[in-house]
Amino acid sequence: MLQVGINGYGTIGKRVAEAAELQDDMTVIGVTKTSPGHETADAESKFNLYGTTAEAVDTLREAGHDVTGDVGDLVEQADIIVDATPAGTGKDNKPIYQSHDTPAVFQGGEPADVADASFNSAANYSQARDADYVRVVSCNTTGLSRLISTLEVFGVSSVHATLIRRGGDPDQHGRGPINDIVLDPPSIPSHHSPDLRTIYPGIDICTHAVKVPMTLMHLQGVKVQLNGTPTEEEVIETIHESDRLACIPARSGIRGCAGIKEAAGDRGRARNDVWENCVWESSVAVDGNELHLYQAIHQEANVVPENIDAIRAVAAEKSQAESRQRTNDALGVGLEF
Amino acid sequence: MLQVGINGYGTIGKRVAEAAELQDDMTVIGVTKTSPGHETADAESKFNLYGTTAEAVDTLREAGHDVTGDVGDLVEQADIIVDATPAGTGKDNKPIYQSHDTPAVFQGGEPADVADASFNSAANYSQARDADYVRVVSCNTTGLSRLISTLEVFGVSSVHATLIRRGGDPDQHGRGPINDIVLDPPSIPSHHSPDLRTIYPGIDICTHAVKVPMTLMHLQGVKVQLNGTPTEEEVIETIHESDRLACIPARSGIRGCAGIKEAAGDRGRARNDVWENCVWESSVAVDGNELHLYQAIHQEANVVPENIDAIRAVAAEKSQAESRQRTNDALGVGLEF
């Protein structure tokens, strides 16, 4: 049984912690927080609570929390750490993991060189088998990686994607925008295409990114240049068969991101979470070897299955196929609309 | 075992259906839909599906759904109907219920005279014991009714509330506003205070209402003129003891509606639903016999416990206290932050 520590219990950390606990080959031995609040109360009710620093231990204890120790104590006991601290903080935590000889999974907000390999479980699981430190690419990059790996059966020569990003997560009320479309960044490409190339070095990729006043999901308008010339039906069928891509059929009546989350809630998904890329069937358009489609990506949830696979790739003797199947089965991946 | 039929399976209907199914003294014998879509697929997977009309039966069957019959067939077999059809439609359905001699619970979108009594389970449960047709008042009115009934221990002489309403439910992308604060209505009072007087005829009440570009919850800024002069601590303690009012403590760090729903999801609430009025402790301000506070009301969920109580009030031999306790226990009412 893998002993997993989660450093950082926010949007991603809490979801990865609960998902890891659902697997029968791993257990969460502790999670860290820096300061009190409703998420900390929730963490304490479900897991052993640690402070991200010695000061955090004091702060949390002063607020009345039952704190087991600091992050070093957690790392010492863990077989592997998932670092889900705020973007850019993970690289500063790496020396702690190294000093305890504990492997770690970082998130996409860290620079690529924090890790031995960038990771997407469909694309390059085996590369992570030899790594101590891997980085699960960001939600948008994970979404594109999954799509590319699915379409590779038709041969993918180039990808262009316009990412219409949510402004922030639901409770990030200070981020904005509040009534604008913001170039994010104002240069082209956005960071996503270089990031994707860490996984697909051989594919010509360019991404644009803007952000809008919405908190639900990201929307991606994607154009893919294929080597083959499949029909639209063949593309849809291939997406249907892909385990982490879900198809939105026209009969569902879903035309926006809120409908996807509404359906996820109706189907019993905790927090209305959507782990799958959601592809609108009606948007799939093929002209020769040019394919266009829309997919929505739930920024809070879609990297969760990949984090679980990354834990196994680094720290367990499980094959790619076995890990993906176990992750999917334990979580119930495979949303239908 | 009460045989409950749900006419209309949208935002409210699906929640009431699932909540009724969780009670051990009632069962849902069927739900109705008018047209296909992801909610209809969900309804069919959980309940016996009926059409709202004969035409709807044909439409749903043509779309491949397994339809048991039309609304008349459902009403005929039911001990009681919960009408959760779109606002204003319920009154047109009443003759169907009357022709089968079947009692019904209507929603707050119907005119008050559709029913023998307007209903809030804390305020006037016993009035509904003699009624065949009751109307659960709207989410905002239910929120104010609960607050008033809780504060009556201090004596309530008048209430003034400003309702900052969500623009629409999450998937209602066509409603707006998108970048405005809309007087809704532009006259004073809004419909809420006359509605509240159907429950509290003796209290001087005035409500203002505006709507804003947000879909999560309603926010109510409330001023209550009390007869007594409690301390702020006494008010907070009284709210803590009230079963369907939840307190948001300062230590939670929650400063908006998204934080409430985030916490609800973290605590395992399906669809992030919040059945309780959520009162910010830090907002409770008392000056002599004048009390001010903020409370948030989840428009999709807060009338659900009241619908379950209304079913029992009309169709079962259960006391107010017993019904409320059963409803609370079966759902898990009592959110803590």
> Is A139 a residue of the active site?
yes
| Cα–Cα–Cα angle for A267, A271, A273, rounded to 5 degrees | 65
Determine the Cα–Cα distance for residues A28 and A48; give it in Å rounded to an integer: 9
A28-54 pLDDT per residue, tens? 999 999 999 999 999 999 999 999 999
Q: pLDDT under 70 in chain A at which residues?
A: none
- State the smallest CA–CA distance between residue A79 and chain B in angstroms: 26
What single DSSP character describes residue B281? Answer: G
Decide if A306 contacts A298 (C-beta within 8 A): no
Q: What angle do CA B146, B149, B153 make, to 5 degrees?
A: 145
Note the pLDDT of residue B130. 86
Chain length of chain A: 337
| CA–CA separation, B111 and A275 (whole Å) | 42
Q: CB-hemisphere CA count at 13 Å for B98?
A: 10
Look-up of token digits 């006494």: B234
A189 preceded by a cis bond (ω within 30 of 0): yes
Residue B59: its chain A contacts at CB < 8 A?
none
Assess contact for A117 and A127: CB atoms under 8 A. Answer: yes
Helix, strand or coil, per DSSP, at residue A316:
coil
CB < 8 Å from A in window 161-200 of B = 170-171, 173, 179
pTM more than 0.90:
yes
> CA nearest B88: which of B138, B146, B152?
B138
CB contact under 8 A, B36 and A253: yes
Buried b (16+ CB within 10 A) or exposed e, A204-219: ebbbbbbbbbbbbbbb
How many Å apart are CA B35 and CA B163, to the nearest integer? 33
Rounded Cα–Cα distance for residues B250 and B31 (Å): 42
pLDDT digits (tens, 9 = 90+) for A177-221: 999 999 999 999 999 999 999 999 999 999 999 999 999 999 999
Query: Do the beta carbons of residue B196 and residue B108 sit within 8 Å?
Result: no
pLDDT at A130: 86
* B94 CB burial (10 A radius; 0-12, 13-18, 19+): middle
Nearest to B286 by CA among B218, B242, B224: B224
Instruction: Answer whether B35's CB lies under 8 Å from B111's CB.
Output: no
Residue B93 to chain A, least CA–CA distance (Å): 26
Euclidean distance between CA atoms A143 and A220, whole angstroms: 9
Min CA distance, B71 vs chain A (Å)?
A: 23
Q: Which of B336, B334, B333, B169 lies closest to B263 in space, CA to CA?
A: B336
Q: One of B139, B247, B257, B278 is an active-site residue; which one?
A: B139
Residues 75 through 134 of chain A touching chain B, CB cutoff 8 Å: none
Which DSSP string corresponds to B179-241? S--EESSSSSS-THHHHHHTT-TTSEEEEEEEEES--S-EEEEEEEEESS---HHHHHHHHHH
Q: Are B117 and B135 in contact (CB under 8 A)?
A: yes
Question: pLDDT 10s digit of each residue in chain B, 337 long?
Answer: 999 999 999 999 999 999 999 999 999 999 999 999 999 999 999 999 999 999 999 999 999 999 999 999 999 999 999 999 999 999 999 999 999 999 999 999 999 999 999 999 999 999 998 899 999 999 999 999 999 999 999 999 999 999 999 999 999 999 989 999 999 999 999 999 999 999 999 999 999 999 999 999 999 999 999 999 999 999 999 999 999 999 999 999 999 999 999 999 999 999 999 999 999 999 999 999 999 999 999 999 999 999 999 999 999 989 999 999 999 999 999 999 9
| CB pair distance less than 8 Å for A265 and B256 | no
Q: Among A170, A251, A256, whose Cβ lies nearest the Cβ of B261?
A: A170
The angle subtended at Cα A99 by Cα A97 and Cα A100, nearest 5°, is: 70
Residue pair B258/B166 in contact (Cβ under 8 Å)? The answer is: no
Output the pLDDT for position B194.
Answer: 94
Contact B204, B227 (CB under 8 A): no
Query: For A46, which residue in chain B has the nearest alpha carbon?
Result: B267
As for the ipTM of the complex, it is: 0.92
Q: Which residue of A has its CA nearest to B170?
A: A258
Considering only the beta carbons, identify the residue of B179, B253, B337 that sits closest to A179: B179
Tell me the longest C-alpha to C-alpha distance in chain B.
65
